[in-house]
């Protein structure tokens, strides 16, 4: 990880959309109480799509657009220098994600009375995959493919990945939440259940990872769609033409995904091909709208909040993850519940958020999430004012 001065962006809208998604990811990942969440702030239990299901795929799409811009300096050639930088960044992002997962297990072990050695050596139960590892794999694989192929070949490869995954899901019982699902089978065989996420659907509890190995294939295609959109809009300098292209692509992808969903449901947890098409289409259309509002009409004052998140996205996301772990584990000695001393998060939620919400625990949960976003924004604001860009 290195620190450098922020470089000017050709499109401020990219930073804003990136900031929107990161702030949204932090918001939905940190409610005051997981038992009290407004419906739009929940993930779809299985098939379906909620606003919350959009934030991660939107970020994946923007990562693809940004990757196109970052690879221009290598003239899109698969050189040794380019490969080393891509592989180095992939490894760093991946292991930051694993380190955060380890930190959570370590601190919870200490809080539960485990010895220091036992708390440290929790690698036999650490979750290997997750948001950061998925971003790392998709960035690394997508970038190398983009440098190794022509644009036409890359487009065919993207479509081929989605078509192949579609067939695998249909043949491998991939639309059912069960142990017989091919996604679950692969993860159990390769990683083992101890390193997987525990999910609950319809009252059934299974080791089923929403960022599993097999579902990474369509995620790579997802990133490549963003890359191809980046190529498409950067070939022209006129923002009107960029907007038209993005709206056309967005409309086509969105309707294609929605129409095809009758045969292949939208599903984030298996990252279904229709989920890829629909969310990429919506992200493309939203980017076009933001370019019109921000870069063409010049309405920028409203978006400064999101720009703070947009210039240091991964750093602030990781910071939020660490603070979330700490607030959920570190105890407040003077605050006691029926089960004993409660955590910082529990104390803030019960002693501050619930009274402020007039006893409405769902509203209190949202207030905590908003306050948590603002806390991370304050850190980002300091970096923003100093014009520091922390690149991971």
Identify the bridge partners of residue 276 per DSSP, sorted by sequence position.
none
Give pLDDT tens digits for 354-390. 999 998 999 999 999 999 999 999 999 999 999 889 8
The closest of 272, 324, 371 to 53, measured between CA atoms, is 272
Residue 236 is inside which H or E element, if any?
A: none
Q: What is the DSSP string of 105-123?
A: HHHHHHHTT--HHHHH--G
Residue 4's DSSP bridge partners are 389
CA–CA separation, 325 vs 307, rounded Å? 25
Residue 373 contacts by C-beta under 8 Å, 6 or more apart in sequence?
Answer: 23, 26, 27, 30
pLDDT band of 3, cuts 50, 70, 90:
very low
165: pLDDT strictly greater than 50 = yes
Per-residue pLDDT tens for 210-242?
999 999 999 999 999 999 999 999 888 889 999
Determine the pLDDT at residue 330.
Answer: 84
| Per-residue pLDDT at 109 | 75
* Angstrom distance (rounded) from CA 375 to CA 47: 33
Do 295 and 11 touch, CB atoms closer than 8 A?
yes
Q: What are phi and psi of 149, to 5 degrees?
A: -120, 160
Instruction: Give helix 304-311 / helix 12-29 axis angle, nearest 10°.
Output: 80
Q: How confident is the model at residue 108 (pLDDT cuts 50, 70, 90)?
A: confident
Tell me if 211 sits within 8 A of 128, measured CB to CB.
Answer: no
The pTM (predicted TM-score) of the whole model is 0.91
Instruction: Decide: helix, strand or coil at residue 271.
Output: coil
**What torsion, rounded to 10 degrees, do the Cα atoms 270, 267, 159, 80 define?**
-50
Q: Output the six-digit token pair for 197.
A: 């996420």
> Cα angle vertex 166, ends 189, 199, to 5°?
50
Contacts of 129 (CB under 8 A, 6+ apart): 191, 195, 196, 197, 209, 211, 212, 213
Q: Is residue 225 within 8 Å of residue 256, measured between CB atoms?
A: no
Cα 105 from Cα 236, distance rounded (Å):
49
Task: Note the pLDDT of residue 104.
Answer: 85
pLDDT of residue 6: 43
Q: Who's near 67: CB < 8 A, 6+ residues apart?
A: 139, 142, 143, 146, 223, 226, 227, 230
In total, the chain counts a number of residues equal to 392
Whole-angstrom Cα distance, residue 67 to residue 321?
A: 24
Confidence (pLDDT) at 339? 53
The C-alpha atoms of residue 105 and residue 119 are separated, in whole angstroms, by: 7
Residue 93 has pLDDT above 90, yes or no: yes
Alpha-carbon torsion, ordered 292, 297, 301, 305, to 10 deg: 10
Distance from C-alpha of 168 to C-alpha of 173, rounded to nearest angstrom: 8
Q: Assign 140 to helix, strand or coil.
A: helix
- Residue written as tokens 């520091």? 388
136's tokens: 């790392």
Cα angle 297, 226, 83 (rounded to 5 degrees) comes to 125
Burial class (CB in 10 A: 0-12, 13-18, 19+), 249: buried
Query: pLDDT at residue 10 above 80?
Result: no
């Amino acid at each position: 990880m290195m620190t450098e001065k922020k470089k000017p962006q050709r499109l401020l809208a990219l930073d804003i959309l990136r900031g929107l998604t990161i702030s949204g990811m932090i918001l939905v990942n940190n409610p005051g109480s997981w038992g009290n969440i407004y419906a739009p702030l929940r993930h779809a239990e299985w098939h379906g799509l909620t606003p919350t299901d959009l934030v991660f795929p939107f970020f994946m799409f923007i990562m693809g657009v940004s990757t196109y811009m970052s690879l221009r300096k290598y003239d899109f050639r698969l050189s040794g220098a380019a490969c080393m930088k891509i592989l180095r960044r992939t490894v760093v992002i991946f292991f930051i994600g694993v380190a955060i997962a380890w930190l959570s297990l370590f601190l919870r072990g200490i809080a539960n009375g485990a010895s220091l050695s036992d708390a440290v050596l929790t690698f036999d139960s650490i979750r290997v995959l997750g948001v950061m590892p998925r971003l790392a794999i998709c960035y690394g694989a997508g970038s190398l493919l983009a440098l190794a192929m022509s644009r036409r070949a890359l487009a065919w490869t993207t479509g081929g990945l989605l078509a192949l995954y579609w067939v695998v899901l249909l043949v491998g019982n991939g639309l059912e939440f069960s142990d017989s699902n091919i996604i679950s089978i692969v993860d159990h065989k390769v990683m083992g259940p101890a390193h997987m996420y525990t999910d609950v659907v319809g009252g059934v509890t299974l080791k089923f990872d929403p960022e599993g190995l097999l579902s990474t294939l369509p995620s790579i295609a997802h990133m490549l769609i963003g890359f191809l959109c980046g190529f498409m809009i950067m070939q022209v300098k006129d923002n009107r033409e960029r907007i038209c292209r993005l709206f056309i692509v967005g409309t086509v992808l969105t309707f294609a995904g929605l129409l095809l969903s009758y045969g292949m449901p939208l599903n984030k947890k298996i990252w279904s091909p229709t989920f890829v098409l629909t969310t990429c289409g919506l992200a493309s259309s939203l980017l076009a709208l933001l370019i019109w509002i921000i870069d063409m009409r010049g309405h920028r004052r409203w978006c400064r909040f999101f720009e703070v998140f947009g210039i240091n996205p991964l750093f602030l996301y990781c910071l939020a993850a660490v603070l979330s772990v700490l607030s959920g584990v570190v105890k407040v000695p003077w605050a006691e519940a029926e089960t004993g001393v409660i955590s910082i998060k529990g104390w803030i939620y019960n002693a501050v958020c619930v009274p402020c919400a007039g006893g409405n625990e769902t509203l209190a949960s949202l207030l905590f999430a908003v306050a948590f976003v603002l806390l991370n924004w304050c850190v980002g604001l300091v970096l923003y004012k100093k014009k520091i860009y922390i690149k991971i």
